[in-house]
Amino acid sequence: DAGVTQSPTHLIKTRGQQVTLRCSPISGHKSVSWYQQVLGQGPQFIFQYYEKEERGRGNFPDRFSARQFPNYSSELNVNALLLGDSALYLCASSARLGQRNQPQHFGDGTRLSIL
């Protein structure tokens, strides 16, 4: 079975632009979470979605938004890009919500560079 897949793998944008990142969870997984990993730091939680509804939000500005589709894939949108948005964006999936004893499974990420 395929793992978590993310696209694109790399992206270069300029300040002020908008970007959309995509994620497909492991087959059968219904929960998708997004994390931002700035160089030299650990991943930071942005959003969690389950059954197309937002179930958690980290400390990120409203420029960040996301949605989940009926097939459980997800998109992360970032508007008005800033230099500080340059990071590796990771998507993680898990089977259901509330399974705190289960690990999240991560994709290889999208590396976003802002010029």
Partner 1 sequence: AQSVAQPEDQVNVAEGNPLTVKCTYSVSGNPYLFWYVQYPNRGLQFLLKYITGDNLVKGSYGFEAEFNKSQTSFHLKKPSALVSDSALYFCAVRDGDGANNLFFGTGTRLTVIP
The residues of the shown chain that bind partner 1, judged by CB under 8 A, are: 4, 6, 31, 33, 35, 40-45, 48, 55-56, 58, 90, 92, 97-101, 103-109, 111
The nearest distance, CB 11 to partner 1, in angstroms, is 14
> For partner 1, which is the closer residue by CB, 78 or 107?
107
What three-state secondary structure class fits 114? strand
Compute the distance between CA of residue 62 and CA of residue 92 in angstroms, rounded to an integer. Answer: 21
Rounded to a whole number of angstroms, the minimum distance from the CB of residue 64 to partner 1 is: 15
**Which one, 5 or 20, has the nearer CB to partner 1?**
5
Please name every residue paired with 78 in a beta bridge, in sequence order, or none if there are none: 19, 64
Task: Of 77, 85, 75, give the one whose Cα is nearest residue 32.
Answer: 75
Q: How far apart are CA 25 and CA 99, in angstroms?
A: 16
Token output for 52: 């197309």
CB of 88 to partner 1, least distance (A): 8
Nearer to partner 1, 80 or 84 (CB): 84
